[in-house]
Structure 1
């Protein structure tokens, strides 16, 4: 899509969609009250509002390369500030971390050394903040390769980011008091399906009930490799 097409799209939005939803936008102009924080990848192929069929104002969204949340106390404050605002100012009740199939960031993570010259900033981002995922995959999935390995890496990365979320004091506090729930999703671009981490099974399964993720540190994740058919 060219810039000219995008400008035409803006005008089409204003004339058609905006005009037919003026009441909704009038309410949104007075403030926002989303109940869900949706954390996902910057990849252009994933659209949080589209796959969840939500309206403007219903999701608070954080996007970056690889849907990564640096642990609390690291030098990167961008994601931390957004999380703090979502919890403290907006009173978010649920947090979804959503990875996706064919993720370029996870492909890069599996061959990290090749990024250092061509994309040094991407290399630094993944090297510093996705090292735990990379090590976990290297140590536990040596028998896998290609698309199978990439799929497992995507899933393990989502669970690792759930663990990183739990390092934030405000999140741990609200999890303990039952005021907040965490959810781990993976969106499959080729099928339109979403699979979610099932707290009872300890595995990713096709999404049905919004079961929250238990404390991943205390939960076995050995079943991931058995779910390649999903």
Structure 2
């Protein structure tokens, strides 16, 4: 905790002073250009990865960067769905990024045994949103014992599945079809710092230049 407290002081003395004018402009409003949906994993830092300044990203973070499919009346998952709604309809962001990453614990958890998941009831309920991801991986996976390929496929297919879920939201689909809203899939490799971006034309994740 002392490290965090020291960090608060250092932020005020260094980073805040460096961007003092910017913080003054942000005093009364925010105008982020991008909704960034990322995993809660402590190793993933959206602002650091993209070199974004305060006010640029509206960030939603949850286990395994999941997006609940649209429903007219939501009784659950509203922390994520309300953030998406607010970003698109109130803040009018121009872009949505779904960012997955390597060695994702949330993605790995969808394969946990029932006994383990029963000890994590809230996580178990949340990961029901990724059930179709598991099915798609099993279709494409040639060797079930290849744990590295399984991990890689799961993390990347999961990104695509969440983009699919985003397009079930009528207000997102409308803006997307009118080219008023861009949707991107990012895959971040923790160990190399590389970010691969999904290319819709060839259906592959490509290393960003």
TM-score, L = length of structure 1: 0.85
Range with bigger deviation, 13-22 or 163-172: 13-22
| CA distance in structure 1 between the partners assigned to 2:139 and 2:114 by the alignment | 17
Structure 1 portions without partners, runs of 5+: 209-230
- Identify unmatched segments of 5+ residues in structure 2: none
Aligned with residue 56 of structure 2, among 58, 75, 81: 58
Q: Is the 8 A contact 1:112 1:123 kept in 2?
A: no
* Aligned: 1:154 with 2:163: no
- In 1, Cα distance between equivalents of 2:187 and 2:49: 11
Larger relative contact order (CA 8 Å, sep ≥ 6): 2
2:141 is aligned with 1:131: no
TM score, norm. by length of structure 2: 0.94
Deviation of 1:113 (Å): 2.4
- CA distance change for structure 1 residues 175 and 112 in 2, over 3 Å: closer, same or farther? farther
Match of 2:170 in 1: 169
Deviates more, 1:21-30 or 1:158-167: 21-30
Q: Which residue, 23, 27, 43 being the options, matches 2:41?
A: 43
> Displacement of 1:79 after TM fit?
1.4
SS in 1 for 2:16: helix
Report what 1:82 is aligned to.
83
- Which residue in 1 is equivalent to 2:98? 97
CA contact (8 A) 2:141 2:149 kept: no
Aligned residues: 205
Q: Which moved more, 1:160-169 or 1:135-144?
A: 135-144
Residue aligning to 1:19: 17
Greater CA drift, 15-24 or 192-201: 15-24
Q: 1:110 Cα deviation (Å)?
A: 2.3
